[in-house]
Chain A
Amino acid sequence: MSVQDLEQIFQQKIDNEVKIEPKDWMPDAYRKTNLRQISQHAHSEIVGMLPEGNWITRAPSLKRKAILLAKVQDEAGHGLYLYSAAETLGQSREEMINDLHSGKAKYSSIFNYPTLTWADIGAIGWLVDGAAIMNQVMLTRTSYGPYARAMVRICKEESFHQRQGFEALLVLSRGTDEQKAMCQDAINRWWWPALMMFGPRDTESTNSDQSMKWKIKRKSNDELRQNFVDMIAEQIKTLGMKLPDDKLKWNEERKHYDFGEINWDEFWQVVKGNGPCNKQRLDARRKAWENGEWVREAAAAHAAKRVAKQREIAA
């Protein structure tokens, strides 16, 4: 079969919503794009454990401590599902991790912001997980089978994350003046970075959208971002708090909320590595990996000894 025939069969599958599986033929660019996207998504989950993990030991009640531990554990699990899916495309976990540590692979910029107060934990659950969910639901229909299935699993577990974040903030919003102020302050600091999670404007692109054609992505940045703003602008009313955007206003004609301009300079600075925590996050991951080297080595050595022993016994 010629490459053109293979490409045709491939595109037909996609057009007919038939999933592409690991052993199927696929264009090299499709493999590469999925690999990069899935592994970066996995890295995001892992790095995301750090800003939240920052408050586990200081969680203000035992219940909150348990909830936060469970949430961060879930995130680690999600990272694992995604690394799993990515490995089916031919890159090993170790290679992916090396790319993360060298700076070659990216992770979601949102995690380069610091968690300064307990309220940040609520804000992350509500806003960051909320934004992630919008993207993730879309991805459950992505064309690459293992990725779609990982996303289905992740989505099932994700709604608890957003709810517990909102609930944590709700308690603050009904608490003391100090707690209310803490809540508003966290929203002020996390709102714009959350909007940045959806990436640059659609207009940044001037070329054919291969990702849409291959159904790797199924909705545009601006579309998702608008849906997110609409959702949050309503939910925040329950908190009695305000979003830090004086341009935020319901537009009756469009039936959507108008909102202000993102600070694109900040966006690119953080992507480039100049966010408040970029260095700390990568340092932490590198350190964990390097410090774990002797552990991984020991476990592998022990496993080899066991196998050798079993062979001796069998002989």
Chain B
Amino acid sequence: MSALIDYTLQLADNALILGQRNSEWCGHGPILEQDIAITNISLDLIGQARSFYQYAAQLKADGSTEDSLAYLRTEREFKNCLLVEQPNGDWAQTMLRQFLFSNFQFHLYQYLLDSPDKTIAAIAEKSLKEVKYHLRWSSEWVIRLGDGTEESHTRMLTAIDELWRYTGELFVPATYEQESGIDLASLKNDWQNKVKAVFEEATLTVPENTFMQTGGKTGKHTEHLGYILSDLQYMQRAYPGSEW
């Protein structure tokens, strides 16, 4: 049970933190239509997070709620992967982060359709359509920017340099993932093939021999998460025990 709870929290935390990061673009996007697009994705992710948190709260059966899990856990208790907490940077970095993660989420949710846990399977099924859209949308942006102008190409190279080191963690299972029977290795090929295809069309090279950073899944985050949480959790910590 504890492994399942931890895994559900990871799924929730991933969605929440990425949703939070994307929401920072609201009002600041490169053009109105894209402001709407990225807020849309943010909203989808928050929705997924809520579903997973609600399930985790149910499993814990200790009075936890979606909000107590999102707002009152500390940095070391969050289980999101390092990739999603990375800063937005410029549009290239945000698009790449989205692509790398949505690519993973898409294959993962497809895999989870067959999960023995009915609730996880149901949430995955409900979310798959929108994740497919996120993947398509971000893939196109990676291609547009990779094969756009010299400047956009350079910015994509910088983004790859920033983010690639966090992609390995996606396929390194934490103990609770192993105990929950999640076979991440089975997703790796599909993920890599998609990256290869998109990068090729984007005239980008897939890096090799990068040392991968890990730790997020077990609460050892980058210094970014603390700041994300101080924003996210502020109200509930400043006004404990209040309804909103």
What residues make up the interface of A, taking CB atoms closer than 8 Å to B? 46, 49-50, 53, 56-66, 69-70, 72-73, 76-77, 79-80, 83, 118, 168, 171, 174-176, 178-179, 284, 287-289, 291-299, 301-302, 305
Contacts and interface: CB of A to CB of B under 8 A. Distances in A.
Contact of B148 (A56, A72, A293, A301): A301
B173 to A, nearest CB: 27
Contacts of B34: 295
B125 interface: no
Given A66-B46, A179-B242, A291-B90, A77 B236 contact: no
Nearest to B90: A291
Given A175-B242, A284-B28, A76 B67 contact: no
Contacts of B91: 292, 295
A171 B239 CA distance: 14
7 smallest CB-CB distances across A and B, nearest first, come from: A292-B30, A298-B148, A298-B152, A60-B235, A295-B30, A60-B244, A49-B27
Interface in B15-41: 16, 20, 23-24, 26-36, 39-40
Given A57-B231, A77-B36, A302-B148, A296 B27 contact: no
Contacts of B49: 62
B244 A294 contact: no
14 contacts: A46-B32, A50-B27, A61-B236, A62-B66, A66-B50, A69-B39, A77-B36, A171-B243, A174-B243, A175-B243, A301-B148, A302-B145, A302-B147, A302-B148
A21 to B, nearest CB: 25
Nearest to A77: B36
A232 to B, nearest CB: 23
Contact of B149 (A49, A62, A287, A294): A294
A288 B144 contact: no
Contact of B27 (A64, A174, A288, A301): A288
Contacts of A118: 235, 244
B242 A176 contact: yes
A296 B46 contact: no
Contacts of B143: 302
A63 to B, nearest CB: 8
A167 B229 CA distance: 26
Interface of B: 16, 20, 23-24, 26-36, 39-40, 42-43, 46-47, 49-50, 53, 66-67, 70-71, 90-91, 143-145, 147-149, 151-152, 155, 231-232, 234-236, 239, 241-244
A168 B49 CA distance: 22
Contacts of A57: 20, 23-24, 231-232
A299 B148 contact: yes
A56 B235 CA distance: 12
Given A62-B53, A69-B43, A77-B36, A298 B149 contact: yes
A73 B145 CA distance: 25
Nearest to A65: B46
Contacts of B149: 294, 297-298, 301
A129 B20 CA distance: 25
Q: From B30, B50, B155, B236, name the one whose CB has the most chain A CB atoms within 10 angstroms.
A: B30
A61 B31 contact: no
A76 B35 contact: yes
B144 A73 contact: no
A201 to B, nearest CB: 33
Given A178-B239, A298-B151, A302-B143, A79 B90 contact: no
Given A57-B24, A60-B242, 9 more contacts: A56-B23, A63-B50, A66-B50, A72-B39, A76-B35, A284-B27, A288-B27, A295-B91, A302-B148
A62 B43 CA distance: 10
Contacts of A59: 235
A77 B26 CA distance: 12
A78 to B, nearest CB: 11
Contact of B235 (A58, A284, A292): A58
Contact of B67 (A62, A168, A179): A62
Given A58-B232, A69-B43, A70-B43, A64 B152 contact: no
A50 B29 CA distance: 12
A288 B242 CA distance: 36
A101 B4 CA distance: 52
Nearest to B39: A73
A282 to B, nearest CB: 13
B138 to A, nearest CB: 14
B23 A80 contact: no
B26 A80 contact: no
Contacts of B90: 291
A297 B36 CA distance: 19
Most buried by A among B27, B50, B231: B27
Contacts of B39: 69, 72-73, 76
A196 B166 CA distance: 51
A126 to B, nearest CB: 16
Nearest to A294: B151
A194 to B, nearest CB: 21
